[in-house]
Structure 1
Amino acid sequence: MTWGWRKILALRDLVRPFLWKSIGNGANTNVWSDTWCNVCPLRSHISPRAIANAGFNLQSSVAEMIDSSGNWKWPVAWYDLFPVLINLQVPVLHDTQDRLVWINSEGNSCYFSSWEVWNNIRYREHVVSWLHMVWFKQCIPRHSFHLWMVIRNKLKTQDRMSVWEAGSATNLNLMCCPLCYHDRDSRNHLFFECSYAKEIWLSIRDMANMGNVNGRWEDIMLWMDQHSTRQPVNVVSRLVVAAASYFVWQERNSRLFNRNQRSATALSQEIVNTVRLRLLSFKFKQGAVNRNFLQKWNIPSNNLDIDPG
């Protein structure tokens, strides 16, 4: 078997609790192994030896375990041995075929789709406060993905690499920020306490209506947390912060690996141009605030029409 197919098969135990048999005539549902009720599979409570000692077959269907009076065929003593059977109702059989259905995490039968599977089996955490700072429908996806990594402090910055002991001790000791050549780079240093990055931030923050926000990452995130609404002015602040972090990191890597350098002024202009191109695809409601906003970004007035939110 191929590696990919083995990985798919390994997911069976993860997916199986969501795959239920909807009982029709009960002939195609294994009473012991299939999931057709809340306590299934019954084999997790009743051992194969107990099933065989009672004279039953491991391949028995639900229909075969119901007598003509509509009661279960298993011994009365089983209710003492296996208490899960006490409240197990006998299903009402119909003249229809048993069906395989998908039961979501809320216990409801729903239409099967790959999205439904992923939504039920994925690992979940509590919703974070910065969700709408990063992911919103007007975002530039590659910038948002990068900002997500920045917020989670998952970039391979020098301070993290030194903890991993990646490279020789000599190289680790010689590490310094490739933007300002002072101290090791880190998440907070690069965004935007480094003298180079700070110059960029000071030149673009007014374009994001964040003129009173300094270059400390904690202060930027605090401001974003308080202002990350869907209004156009705050959409642009999210775009600017994401673009700034993206291009500063890109410049850092370019200097580190390619020895190519751009001035802070040139990089600031590229950030502004990139965000402006994204804003050109928006439509805004009529109003003095939006007109001033469009003038600041040199966007034609014919974009005044519909709120992008």
Structure 2
Amino acid sequence: MTWGWRKILSIRNAVRPSFWSIIRSGKQTNVWSDNWCHLSPLRSFITPRHIANAGFNLQATVAEVIDENGQWKWPQAWYDVYPVLIGLTVNQQDPQLADRMVWKDVEGHDQHFSSLEVWHTLRTRDTPVKWASMVWFSQCIPRHSFHLWLVIKNKLKTQDRLAVWEVGSETNRRLMCCPLCKHGTDSRDHLFFVCGFASQVWSNIRMLVDLENVNDSWTSIAVWMERYSDSKRFKHIVCKLAISASSYYIWQERNNRLFTSKECTAEQVTEKIKNIVRLRLMGFVYKGDLDYQRTLTKWQNLCRASDEDPG
């Protein structure tokens, strides 16, 4: 048996409750093991011993335990032992039609079977977060969005997290400092954007977009993200791109200084952010949108001025 089939078979218990049989003839549905009524599977409370003593076998179908008058063939004594069976009824639609298998979603609605429905049923669900559209939106840069997701979840391997993991001696951890400003231990809240180096970059970028009221603290940025995450306005989309690009390139510069000999100035990192945002804006389709044209012209002029700057 292949690895793939072993994995599929391993989730049988998880998917079995979602497979349901719609009774039409009742000849293709196992009365004891399949899901076909609100009490299913009947085998969960009717023991195999009682099934055998009543003259049935474990492979019996729904049709086989119903007589010509539409009544159940099981013993009358079962209603005393299993009173839940008293109200159990089944409607055979057509003896010539085969039973139909359906997939029930998490709300109990019948659906056509698909891998998408299986995923929605099996996946872990949590409370929706307000910042989801801040990270994942149609105009995003995927690698920037993935990085921003890590930032929001505070999953970057910063020095404060290393301390929690108890990596190295206490003395070595005390010697750690932010690779960008050389002051304090780097953390999510320090790098974005309290750090002196990061603050310079962020100040240059946020003045180019509609973020003048957002300061250097991550709390201030988080408040803005929750407020405008779902906004489809062009100026807010540009702000989303600027925030994610700023965090991405500042983290990249931090790693370059920590693990290589490469080092860029705050102005050079700022130019990287300007260029990537400009290129992304040029790929937008906003025909006849004056705000888009003004913004694109502004970013193009900024990048052109930087290219002409002899410094």
Q: What's the TM-score, normalizing by structure 1? A: 0.90
Equivalent residue for 1:178? 179
1:99 aligns with 2:116: no
Report the Cα distance in structure 1 between the residues aligned to 2:237 and 2:186, rounded to whole angstroms: 29
Equivalent residue for 2:9? 9
Equivalent residue for 1:89? 89
Equivalent residue for 2:190? 189
Give the match's secondary structure for 1:234. Answer: helix
Equivalent residue for 2:61? 61
For 2:59, the aligned partner's letter is: Q
For 1:258, the aligned partner's letter is: T
Equivalent residue for 1:246? 248
For 1:34, the aligned partner's letter is: D
Equivalent residue for 1:72? 72
Task: Determine what percentage of the aligned residue pairs are the same residue.
Answer: 54
Q: Is the 8 A contact 1:23 1:93 kept in 2?
A: yes
Report the Cα distance in structure 2 between the residues aligned to 1:78 and 1:289, rounded to whole angstroms: 75
Report the Cα distance in structure 1 between the residues aligned to 2:92 and 2:218, rounded to whole angstroms: 62
Q: Is the 8 A contact 2:281 2:296 kept in 1?
A: no
Q: CA deviation at 1:78?
A: 1.9
Equivalent residue for 1:265? 267
For 2:26, the aligned partner's letter is: G
Q: Is the 8 A contact 1:26 1:62 kept in 2?
A: yes
Q: CA deviation at 1:113?
A: 1.6
Report the Cα distance in structure 1 between the residues aligned to 2:163 and 2:189, rounded to whole angstroms: 16
Which 4+ residue blocks in structure 1 deviate beyond 4 angstroms? 1-4
Alpha-carbon spacing, 1:160–1:2, altered in 2? closer, same or farther (3 Å): farther
Question: Any unmatched runs of 5+ in structure 2?
Answer: 302-311
Alpha-carbon spacing, 1:225–1:81, altered in 2? closer, same or farther (3 Å): same
Q: CA deviation at 1:209?
A: 1.4
Report the Cα distance in structure 1 between the residues aligned to 2:227 and 2:269, rounded to whole angstroms: 27
Bigger CA drift: 17-26 or 280-289? 280-289
Report the Cα distance in structure 1 between the residues aligned to 2:201 and 2:270, rounded to whole angstroms: 5
Report the Cα distance in structure 2 between the residues aligned to 1:164 and 1:5, rounded to whole angstroms: 37
Report 1:150-161 matches (<5 A).
Answer: 150-161=151-162
Give the match's secondary structure for 2:184. Answer: coil
Q: Is the 8 A contact 1:27 1:62 kept in 2?
A: yes
Q: Is the 8 A contact 1:28 1:98 kept in 2?
A: yes
Report the Cα distance in structure 1 between the residues aligned to 2:160 and 2:148, rounded to whole angstroms: 18
Equivalent residue for 2:213? 212
For 1:26, the aligned partner's letter is: G
Give the match's secondary structure for 1:276. Answer: helix
Give the match's secondary structure for 2:208. Answer: helix
For 2:212, the aligned partner's letter is: G
Alpha-carbon spacing, 1:31–1:206, altered in 2? closer, same or farther (3 Å): same
Report the Cα distance in structure 1 between the residues aligned to 2:83 and 2:197, rounded to whole angstroms: 70
Give the match's secondary structure for 2:163. Answer: helix
Could you report, residue by residue, the CA deviation over 1:4-44 in whole angstroms, capped at 9, with x for unpaired residues?
44332221111111111222221121110111122211111
Report the Cα distance in structure 2 between the residues aligned to 1:167 and 1:92, rounded to whole angstroms: 70
Q: What's the TM-score, normalizing by structure 2? A: 0.90
Report the Cα distance in structure 2 between the residues aligned to 1:159 and 1:7, rounded to whole angstroms: 38
Q: CA deviation at 1:169?
A: 3.7
Alpha-carbon spacing, 1:151–1:83, altered in 2? closer, same or farther (3 Å): farther
Q: Is the 8 A contact 2:102 2:113 kept in 1?
A: yes
Bigger CA drift: 252-261 or 12-21? 252-261
1:36 aligns with 2:29: no
Equivalent residue for 1:27? 27
Q: Is the 8 A contact 1:149 1:155 kept in 2?
A: yes
Equivalent residue for 1:278? 280
For 1:7, the aligned partner's letter is: K
Question: Any unmatched runs of 5+ in structure 1?
Answer: 300-309
Alpha-carbon spacing, 1:269–1:27, altered in 2? closer, same or farther (3 Å): same
Q: CA deviation at 1:93?
A: 4.4
| Number of aligned positions between the proteins | 299
Equivalent residue for 2:138? 137
Q: Is the 8 A contact 1:72 1:90 kept in 2?
A: no
Q: Is the 8 A contact 1:34 1:40 kept in 2?
A: yes
Give the match's secondary structure for 2:205. Answer: helix
Equivalent residue for 1:128? 129
For 2:112, the aligned partner's letter is: Y
Q: Is the 8 A contact 2:205 2:270 kept in 1?
A: yes
